[in-house]
Amino acid sequence: MNTAQAKRVLETALLCSTQPVTVRDMRVLFDDALGADTLKGLLEELQLDWADRGLELVSVATGWRFQSRPELRIYLDKLNPEKPPKYTRAVMETLAIIAYRQPVTRGDMEDIRGVTINTQIIKQLEDRGWVEVIGHRESVGRPGLYATTRHFLDDLGLSSLDQLPLLSSVDGQAAMLASLNPPEEDATQASLSLEDSTEVLETVQAETIDAQASELAMPEVEISEPETIEVAGQTNIAQEIPDAAEGQHHD
CA–CA distance, 22 with 199 (Å, rounded to integer): 37
CA–CA distance, 88 with 94 (Å, rounded to integer): 10
- So what's the pLDDT on residue 189? 36
- So what's the pLDDT on residue 185? 35
CB 191 within 8 A of CB 229: no
- So what's the pLDDT on residue 245? 40
CA–CA distance, 211 with 245 (Å, rounded to integer): 20
Helical pair 89-101 and 119-128, crossing angle rounded to 10 deg: 70
CB 241 within 8 A of CB 204: yes
pTM for the model stands at: 0.55
Going residue by residue through the chain, which has 251 residues, state the pLDDT in tens, using 9 for 90 and above.
788 899 999 999 999 998 999 999 999 999 888 888 999 999 999 999 999 999 999 998 889 999 999 898 888 888 877 676 677 888 888 888 898 888 999 999 988 888 888 889 999 899 989 999 999 988 888 899 999 999 898 888 888 888 887 644 434 444 555 555 444 333 333 334 444 444 444 454 555 445 444 444 444 444 444 443 343 444 443 344 344 444 444 44
- Report all structural domains of the chain as residue ranges with CATH numbers, in order of start: 3-76 (1.10.10.10), 89-217 (1.10.10.10)
CB 50 within 8 A of CB 57: yes
- So what's the pLDDT on residue 159? 83
Closest CA to 231 of 127, 105, 135, 107: 135
Please say whether the dihedral angle defined by the alpha carbons of residues 133, 204, 202 and 196, taken in this order, is positive or negative.
positive
> DSSP code of 132?
E
